Amino acid sequence: MSTTSGSGGARPWTQRIGVVALVLAALATGRAITHSFPVEGRIEAPFVRDSAVGEPVRLRYADVEAGEPAGARELDAGGTTLTSPGVWLVVPVRMTARGEPRTLAYAAVRGSDGTLYVAGGFGRGGFAPGTAQPGVPREADVAVELPADAVAGAHLLLALDPDDHRRDDLADIDLGLTQADVERWTDGAPPVTFRDAADAGATASADASGDGS
Amino acid sequence: MPTPPADRRALRERARRSGSVVAQRLLDQPLRNLGVGGAVALLAVTAAFGGLEPAAEPGLPAVAVGEPVEAGPFELTLEKVLWVDELPGVKPGEGNRWLALTATVTNTSERTATSANLRNTLGLTGVEGLVEPPDAGTDRVLSSRRLLLADASDLSPVQPGLDYELVFLFEHDASLPPPEEVTVQVVGHTWRSSTITPDVAWFDPTVVAEATLAMREAVDEGGADEGGAEEGDA
Amino acid sequence: MSGRRDWWRRNRWALAALPVALVAALAASSDRVATYYWHAGLHDARTAGHGEWFELHDEYTDGKGTHERVVRVRLDRTAVLTPAALRQVRVEVPSGARAVQVTLSLEADPDLPLALCRLALRDADGTRYDYQRPGAGEVTTARPMSPCVPGDTPGPSESLGRLDEVLSADERDPRPRSWTVEPVVVVPDDARVDEVLLWWREPVYVALDVD
């Protein structure tokens, strides 16, 4: 056992050097470990659930399914026509909340160039599905404008929180778009419609025929 | 105030007994040396944080009509500087007119930008009679609306990689004569994380270009243009 | 070896204190559990049996400080609305879903702010089906702005401190001492509703048995 120093700090200098060296070695090892394994990104990464058009994907908070995308240079939103310098891409989404009512607030198109074209909550196009009651499917459109050369191979991303996707589920849906689709859409296709969100199969109460449900 | 000799000795004794090398070094130094050494250490630390970089040079490049200006996250090219009493479908407030600056704006970053980012990019200074107050902490007034020329919609969000032709509208008191010239400031921002919260956004508004430009009334260019268009239609 | 036994004896108090220290350390660093978990959801259940009156004692804080909230509530009944009844109350129900009308009786002091409440149905799996507030132009008796106070006489709002002077006074009649509400909640056809949940301030909520 090493003798603890009394008054006067009489530890031999070899021991002191040894302690300093051990501390420095520990610091250096720690730094080497944290730098060779970049865990920051992985610890905080979302849980990405891949899917394709027409395939429902189960997320923690909802089941979502993307329908056939459509596109054109012009978007018909509630009677107003919006023109884009690029191309409007509209994807219908059907979502069924799980566990409690959910308001999905994030939709983005990842173009073939890797850029995320995020749908706003308001403004031109966007994604505003409102609150989905569990078990009652809700339908809403995602409308995003993007450069025509980013459309082929684009993916649709959907998530619950508008900004923070750490450690939660995120749907990544391959839209199956090709250059042929883009050419069709930019070559004088009629305006594509952007519908308001609604519960799937919503019927006007005045016309409801008793269907015994 | 220098510590009296008796206290200094007691202090050194305690430091030595504590075994702390740092304490001993500090206390064994006459105070004069510590001052210089401390100053050098301080400068060294500041250097590590960029404190020794040259200060920004004075004098801003001029923004000329038709020349693109980099103003993060946008590239902005001014086209026309006009005033108009009314625009179809877009009314200014009672007794006001619009000062309209048309421009082509491209989001050259890799992130969708917001309407607020766009608003912060262009301002007017030195113009009497602008209805909106200047942006907090500056003397420039920002636009009230930003409309896409093709469909007169408010441009929001601003997606990357698209060339938007739009007009920045500023409300101006119509009881005053329309200005003959306006000073335009183009403002760029930096993408960084906030110093207080974990948010990342476009911060640090900095004027990257400024110029005083002549403003004229928006006149309908009908007649000759219409004739040309009809000929062109096959 | 006696050395080892000596070690145990010398360190007995420290060892005894070790589990206490561990618990204290965990507790000290778990203040976020309160904010991000306990207060951020329905965790403090106050349950009542079917058809029984339940008296809720809770607190709320507004612009004028912290006050007591005492409300008595009873679940009178829940009923699935027929298509004819749906037409009468002008409620739209998508296919694959049905509308459940919840009849509640409540008693409270007319001066107590109660309008900011939330109502939900919960099934045996724990899935929660919320009462969804209508848009501004779509308020009806079956879809009121607030599911727990009468539409015409909702009673006072929580104080906003000095802002109260700026707001125009509510000129409606005071809320009665006891009243009944009948909000309608849309649930999927296959939901087996177990409880009616009513809450003002998380984590406290009242769970009323349906059967």
Say which CATH number the domain at A115 has. Answer: 2.60.40.1240
C3 touches A: beta carbon within 8 Å:
no
Residue A124, domain member (yes or no): yes
The C residues from 53 to 112 touching A (CB cutoff 8 Å) are 82-84, 86-87, 90-98
Find the angle CA(C64)-CA(C65)-CA(C66) to the nearest 5 degrees.
Answer: 140
Residues on chain A bordering chain B, Cβ-to-Cβ distance under 8 angstroms: 5, 7-9, 11, 80-86, 108, 113-120, 122-124, 126, 144-147, 150
Give partners of C (≥3 CB pairs < 8 A): A
The shortest C-alpha distance from A147 to chain B (Å) reads: 6
B162: which chain A residues are within 8 Å (Cβ-Cβ)? 84-86, 145-147
Question: What is the separation of C-alpha C1 from the centre of its chain, rounded to a whole number of angstroms?
Answer: 63
Task: Return d(Cα A156, Cα B234) in angstroms, integer.
Answer: 41
* pLDDT tens-digit readout, A96-141: 999 999 999 999 999 999 999 999 988 999 999 999 999 999 999 9
Q: H/E element holding B192?
A: strand B181-193
Task: Return d(Cα A29, Cα A37) in angstroms, integer.
Answer: 12
Q: Do chains C and B touch (3 or more CB pairs under 8 A)?
A: no
A86: which chain B residues are within 8 Å (Cβ-Cβ)? 159, 161-162
pLDDT value at residue A96: 97
Cβ–Cβ below 8 Å for C188 and A135: yes
Give partners of B (≥3 CB pairs < 8 A): A
Top residue of A75, A115, A151 to mutate, by most chain B CBs within 10 Å, is: A115
Nearest residue on chain A to C97, alpha-carbon basis: A136
The shortest C-alpha distance from A149 to chain C (Å) reads: 40
Q: What amino acid is encoded at A32 in this protein? A: A
Say if residue A118 is in the same domain as residue A19: no
- Select, from the ranges A65-79, B14-28, C130-144, the one with the highest average predicted confidence (pLDDT): A65-79
Task: Return d(Cα C3, Cα C22) in angstroms, integer.
Answer: 27
Say if residue A66 is in the same domain as residue A135: yes
Cβ–Cβ below 8 Å for A82 and B165: no
A30: tokens are 């720690």
Say if residue A195 is in the same domain as residue A139: yes
pLDDT value at residue A201: 80
Task: Return d(Cα A91, Cα A30) in angstroms, integer.
Answer: 48
Domains and CATH numbers, chain C: 1-40 (no CATH), 45-209 (2.60.40)
Cβ–Cβ below 8 Å for A133 and C132: yes
Q: What is the CA radius of gyration of chain C?
A: 24
Q: How far apart are the first and last CA of chain C?
A: 68
What average pLDDT does range B199-221 have in this prediction?
A: 87
Say if residue A25 is in the same domain as residue A76: no
The shortest C-alpha distance from C175 to chain A (Å) reads: 30
Cβ–Cβ below 8 Å for C97 and A199: yes
The shortest C-alpha distance from B55 to chain A (Å) reads: 33
Mean pLDDT of chain A: 89
Task: State the pLDDT confidence band at B88, using cuts at 50, 70 and 90.
Answer: confident
Say if residue A55 is in the same domain as residue A33: no
Count of A–C CB contacts within 8 Å? Answer: 76
pLDDT value at residue C134: 87
Full domain range(s) for residue A153 = 46-200
Cβ–Cβ below 8 Å for C129 and A204: no
Q: Which of A83, A116, A126 sits opposite B151 (nearest CB)?
A: A83
Task: State the pLDDT confidence band at C50, using cuts at 50, 70 and 90.
Answer: confident
Cβ–Cβ below 8 Å for B161 and A113: yes
Residue A81 has pLDDT above 60, yes or no: yes
Cβ–Cβ below 8 Å for C94 and A136: yes
Task: State the pLDDT confidence band at A69, using cuts at 50, 70 and 90.
Answer: very high
The shortest C-alpha distance from C71 to chain A (Å) reads: 26
What average pLDDT does range B223-229 have in this prediction?
A: 37
* pLDDT tens-digit readout, B9-56: 666 666 566 655 555 555 555 555 556 666 666 666 555 555 555 555
Say if residue A107 is in the same domain as residue A193: yes
pLDDT value at residue A12: 82
Question: What is this structure's pTM?
Answer: 0.80
pLDDT value at residue C168: 80
B157: which chain A residues are within 8 Å (Cβ-Cβ)? 118-120, 123-124, 126
Residue C167 has pLDDT above 70, yes or no: yes
- Select, from the ranges A122-131, B191-200, C80-89, C140-149, the one with the highest average predicted confidence (pLDDT): A122-131
The shortest C-alpha distance from B176 to chain A (Å) reads: 33
Question: Which residue is associated with the tokens 């004229």?
Answer: B216
Question: What is the separation of C-alpha B133 from the centre of its chain, rounded to a whole number of angstroms?
Answer: 17
Top residue of A63, A164, A203, A205 to mutate, by most chain C CBs within 10 Å, is: A205
Say if residue A33 is in the same domain as residue A51: no
A196 touches C: beta carbon within 8 Å:
no
> What class is the B68-217 domain?
mainly beta
Task: Return d(Cα B118, Cα B176) in angstroms, integer.
Answer: 28
Say if residue A40 is in the same domain as residue A50: no
- Select, from the ranges A141-150, C22-31, C59-68, the one with the highest average predicted confidence (pLDDT): A141-150
Select from C87, C117, C82 the least CA-distant residue to C101: C82
Task: Return d(Cα A86, Cα B162) in angstroms, integer.
Answer: 6
Residue A50, domain member (yes or no): yes
B148 touches A: beta carbon within 8 Å:
yes
Count of A–B CB contacts within 8 Å? Answer: 68
Q: Which of C90, C94, C189 sits opposite A200 (nearest CB)?
A: C94
Task: Return d(Cα C180, Cα C196) in angstroms, integer.
Answer: 15
Top residue of A118, A122, A127 to mutate, by most chain B CBs within 10 Å, is: A118
* Bridge partner residues of C9 (DSSP): none
A18: tokens are 């040894």
Residues C127, C75 contacting (CB under 8 angstroms):
no
The shortest C-alpha distance from A159 to chain C (Å) reads: 20
Number of domains in chain A: 2
Comma-separated ranges of CATH 2.60.40 domains in chain B: 68-217
Q: Which of B19, B157, B165 sits opposite A118 (nearest CB)?
A: B157
C132 touches A: beta carbon within 8 Å:
yes
pLDDT value at residue B33: 54
Say if residue A35 is in the same domain as residue A86: no
C129: which chain A residues are within 8 Å (Cβ-Cβ)? 101, 133-135
C205 touches A: beta carbon within 8 Å:
no
Say if residue A24 is in the same domain as residue A56: no
Task: Return d(Cα B67, Cα B149) in angstroms, integer.
Answer: 19
The A residues from 109 to 148 touching C (CB cutoff 8 Å) are 131, 133-137
Say if residue A144 is in the same domain as residue A165: yes
Say if residue A116 is in the same domain as residue A27: no
Residue C60 has pLDDT above 70, yes or no: yes
